[in-house]
Amino acid sequence: MAGSPKIWLITGSSTGFGRSLTEAVLKHGDTVIATARKPEQLEELIQHYPDTIKTVRLDVTQIQEVHDAVNAAIAAFGRIDVLVNNAGYGLIGALEEVSDEQIQRNFDTNLFGAIHMMRAVLPVMRQQGSGHIVNMSAIAGFSNELGFSIYGGAKFALEGVSEAVHGEAAPFGIKVTIVEPGPFRTDFIGRSLVQAEHQMEEYQPTVGKFLHFLSTIEGKQPGDPVKAANTIIQVVESENPPLRLVLGKYAYHKFREKIESLTQELDAWETLAANTDFEDA
């Protein structure tokens, strides 16, 4: 299917990365099943691209809505070439500051929502003998920040699932790419970043400091979401897409910094820690 028009199913299409990607895919000449909890926010795109966009209401935490969206895509276009699991939001707070409900809801959206989407779309792609799953993670899903224990933890888990599915789905012609953006100029900090319910004075010098930093870069993030969207399209069009796509200089720095730290730690403890096998192993 490389080079020919594709059918994309994108979750969280109304704002942020999802909106930028939906617009870029439509401009590219492909077709989009654009899903959102408030699909009326996509009305402008329907007017500009009446033949190549179908909007569907979807809350990824509702399994029946997940299957309804996939069925609507198949009924309308007969196939799904690309699934983009983009729907999600941030949660900032120390682990003991966030509530049980906040933890559950964040994992339900950022992790289980993507899992349900993959489970619904994989049979379709497997029958087609082709497809590409793009899971939107974050650099916090590889090198986490204090205050992002739950948000980053959900993204870490999504990356672990994605790595396994990458191998499981490969024999059926299905590709998987994890996208790890750094700070991009979307509404993530302003609209999509929830704060802990029970903020504690003890964490102000750490988590509080990081939250203040985020507020200072709002609207000044270095990443361009339009360039990111076009890069994702190029990756989907490529014959050998990467398992991980790191976006932005900040994310590349964090990624390499963690790799170097891991290597140093492995080397420092190898003699002691590797000598834990049975003697005859």
So what's the pLDDT on residue 137? Answer: 96
Give me the catalytic one of 137, 143, 149, 162: 137
Give me the catalytic one of 6, 155, 175, 254: 155
The identity of residue 221, as a single letter, is Q
Residue 2 domain-assigned?
no
The DSSP letter of residue 234 is: H
For residue 170, the domain's CATH number is 3.40.50.720
Whose CA is closest to 1, among 134, 128, 119? 128
Residue 133: count other Cβ atoms within 10 Å of its Cβ: 24
Residue 192 domain-assigned?
yes
Give the pLDDT band of residue 188 (cuts 50, 70, 90).
low
User: Alpha carbon of 31 to those of 6, 13, 22: distances in Å?
Assistant: 6, 13, 9
So what's the pLDDT on residue 281? Answer: 77
Give the pLDDT band of residue 4 (cuts 50, 70, 90).
confident
Residue 150 domain-assigned?
yes
Average pLDDT over residues 100-114: 97
Contact indicator for 84, 21 with CB cutoff of 8 Å: yes
So what's the pLDDT on residue 216? Answer: 75
Residue 171 domain-assigned?
yes
Nearest-angstrom CA–CA distance, 167 and 95: 33
Residue 36 domain-assigned?
yes
The H or E element containing residue 265 is: helix 249-273
Q: Under the phi-then-psi rule, with left for phi > 0, alpha for psi from -120 to 50, and beta for the rest, what region is 93?
A: left
The contacts of residue 29 (CB under 8 Å, 6+ apart) are 5, 52
Number of domains, the chain: 1
User: Whole-number mean pLDDT of the chain?
Assistant: 92
Active site residue 130: no
Nearest-angstrom CA–CA distance, 167 and 156: 18
Active site residue 151: yes
Give the pLDDT band of residue 215 (cuts 50, 70, 90).
confident
Give the pLDDT band of residue 184 (cuts 50, 70, 90).
low
Contact indicator for 18, 12 with CB cutoff of 8 Å: yes
Give me the catalytic one of 151, 162, 175, 254: 151
Strands (E), the chain: 7-10, 31-36, 53-57, 82-85, 90-92, 131-136, 174-181, 193-195, 244-247
The DSSP letter of residue 184 is: B
159 vs 41 pLDDT, higher one: 159
Q: Under the phi-then-psi rule, with left for phi > 0, alpha for psi from -120 to 50, and beta for the rest, what region is 111?
A: alpha
The DSSP letter of residue 219 is: T
So what's the pLDDT on residue 29? Answer: 96
**Burial of 112 from C-beta contacts in 10 A (0-12 / 13-18 / 19+):** middle
Give the pLDDT band of residue 3 (cuts 50, 70, 90).
low
Contact indicator for 87, 12 with CB cutoff of 8 Å: yes
Residue 261 domain-assigned?
no
Active site residue 20: no
Residue 275 domain-assigned?
no
Average pLDDT over residues 219-248: 90
Retrieve residue 223's tokens.
């990443």
Summarize pLDDT for 150-179 with one digit per residue, the tens. Answer: 999 999 999 999 999 999 999 999 999 999
**Residue 23 pLDDT greater than 90, yes or no:** yes
List the single range of 75-79, 165-169, 194-198 with lowest mean pLDDT.
Answer: 194-198
Q: Which domain holds residue 156?
A: 7-249
So what's the pLDDT on residue 253? Answer: 93
Average pLDDT over residues 219-245: 89
So what's the pLDDT on residue 1? Answer: 46
Average pLDDT over residues 134-151: 94
User: Alpha carbon of 276 to those of 103, 267, 271: distances in Å?
Assistant: 36, 16, 10
Residue 277 domain-assigned?
no
So what's the pLDDT on residue 190? Answer: 53
